[in-house]
Amino acid sequence: MDERARRRGKLLTRAAGLGVAAMTLATTVGLALGAGGCFNRNCDGDFVFYGGKPDEGRLRDPDTWETTPFDGKWLAFPHKRTWVLDTSALGTRPPESVIAYISAQETPNEVGANFTVGGGNLVIFTVAKPGTLWVTNDTCADYYIRVVVNASPAPAPADTGPPPQPDTDASSDGGSE
């Protein structure tokens, strides 16, 4: 084989290799752009109200409200969801502390499941005042959430003194002498 034919063969092999590399890169970029993630409108969020109905949330004690029991099913917390929680069962007291627990499983207290305390963009509290708490999942990942809200103990009722005594004065009963 002459030198020209050998060079031509090497050039064609290199060109084919570059073509395959270019096609691989184009395919990878195309798949990345078309794959799930926060592109276009697939990460638009929603607002869901919770806690206003009898079966939504509960008081664990007079100062603690929770979305769900620890060993129950937790609330779905999909990407960009904001839960608007009605904590009015705590009265007019503002939240003193709030803890959000996050899990990839709906019932994280089963064998093989797990949970953690949420933080960062996964759990963002935007409103925390008497009667309401807003919590947002500002990511593109879906989880489950359980929120526990503690309020300061309710003040003791004011002492109004002893109860009034019945009037026992005979002269005041309108009787005659």
pLDDT in tens, 47-65: 999 999 999 999 999 999 9
Q: How far is it, in rounded angstroms, from Cα 98 to Cα 128?
A: 9
Q: What is the residue-averaged pLDDT of the chain?
A: 82
Q: What are phi and psi of 129, to 5 degrees?
A: -145, 170
Please check the confidence at residue 20 and state whether its pLDDT lies above 90. Answer: no
Q: How far is it, in rounded angstroms, from Cα 41 to Cα 143?
A: 19
The confidence band for 2, taking pLDDT boundaries of 50, 70 and 90, is: confident
Q: What is the mean pLDDT of residues 22-27?
A: 53
- The amino acid present at 96, given as its one-letter code, is E
Q: How far is it, in rounded angstroms, from Cα 160 to Cα 115?
A: 49
pLDDT in tens, 114-169: 999 999 999 999 999 999 999 999 999 999 999 999 999 987 777 776 777 777 66
Q: What are phi and psi of 124, to 5 degrees?
A: -120, 120
Query: Residue 33's pLDDT is what?
Result: 46
Q: What is the mean pLDDT of residues 7-14?
A: 66
- The amino acid present at 150, given as its one-letter code, is N
- The amino acid present at 3, given as its one-letter code, is E
Q: Please report, in angstroms and rounded to a whole number, the separation of the first and last CA atoms in the chain.
A: 151
CATH tag, 46-151: 2.60.40
Please check the confidence at residue 81 and state whether its pLDDT lies above 50. Answer: yes
Is there a contact between 78 and 72 (Cβ–Cβ < 8 Å)? no
- Which region holds residue 57: left if phi is over 0, alpha if psi is between -120 and 50, else beta? left
Domain boundaries, the chain: 1-30, 46-151
Q: Cβ atoms within 10 A of the Cβ of 56, count?
A: 14
- The amino acid present at 5, given as its one-letter code, is A
What residues contact residue 59 under an 8 Å CB cut-off, 6+ apart? 65, 89, 90
